[in-house]
Structure 1
């Protein structure tokens, strides 16, 4: 098992499955791919990975989710783990939310739904090499 992970957070299981499939196709077995359907579930995954000494490199989070919006979640992540690269994926985020995430969560990139596999690869590859 790899000691580096990419975590995807979205309340739509079809989006999570698409992300996981694309990431596995693009990056193979280089990383662990974890999925969470809410910010609350993501924190559980983050804590489990931390206990297992698996480093989370990137979190890709939807913006519009129940309870905690993606920008808020990414800001919380950044406060606790400033080294994790944050990417927001959205079909509905307003510019204010994206700007807030850029300023307070050090947002690396924002992908708009529907994204292309090429866009996903470029963002993730560039982020990992920066």
Structure 2
């Protein structure tokens, strides 16, 4: 059986730790959990997992990060890996960024910080259903 992963990208390690803990509580060892502290590192992690024949099913990305904003990052991810479910976190509601990600990166959902574990679980699980229905990048 092919390994599957969820990747989170945020420039704050406390956020990555929280996301990782919540995802592990939701899914146990069903999915690998990987994290990155910026967009460039996030894309590198996704590409490395793909090279190792591991399917990245979901990516959760912060919007406001140094170097490249989350909507731009998710657009880059979408160009290379269009079937990954993309979720954006935002501490500051930026309607134009959300619309940019919806229109150009097939954004599945966005959550405002602070988010609830229940909202994160609902968003990820509906994204996984979407993949089951339409297939992954295999």
TM over 0.5: yes
Given the alignment of the two structures, is residue 96 of structure 1 paired with residue 96 of structure 2, yes or no?
A: yes
Work out the CA distance in 1 between the residues paired with 2:115 and 2:13.
16
Matches within 5 A, 1:16-31: 16-31=16-31
The unaligned stretches of length 5 or more in structure 1 are none
The offset of 1:34, in angstroms, is 0.3
The offset of 1:2, in angstroms, is 6.5
Contact preservation (8 Å) 1:2, 1:31: no
The offset of 1:51, in angstroms, is 1.3
Counterpart residue number, 2:60: 60
Aligned residues: 130
When the two structures are superposed, what TM-score results if normalisation uses the length of structure 2?
Answer: 0.91
SS in 2 for 1:11: coil
Work out the CA distance in 2 between the residues paired with 1:92 and 1:9.
16
Contact preservation (8 Å) 1:61, 1:88: yes
SS in 1 for 2:89: strand
Counterpart residue number, 1:12: 12
Work out the CA distance in 2 between the residues paired with 1:27 and 1:111.
19
Counterpart residue number, 1:107: 107
Moved segments of 4+, more than 3 Å: none
- Partner deviation per Cα, 1:31-85 (whole Å, 9 max, x = no partner): 0000000011112211210111000001100000001000000001101111111
The unaligned stretches of length 5 or more in structure 2 are 131-138
Contact preservation (8 Å) 1:64, 1:93: no
Given the alignment of the two structures, is residue 46 of structure 1 paired with residue 54 of structure 2, yes or no?
A: no
Contact preservation (8 Å) 1:2, 1:29: no
SS in 2 for 1:8: strand
When the two structures are superposed, what TM-score results if normalisation uses the length of structure 1?
Answer: 0.97
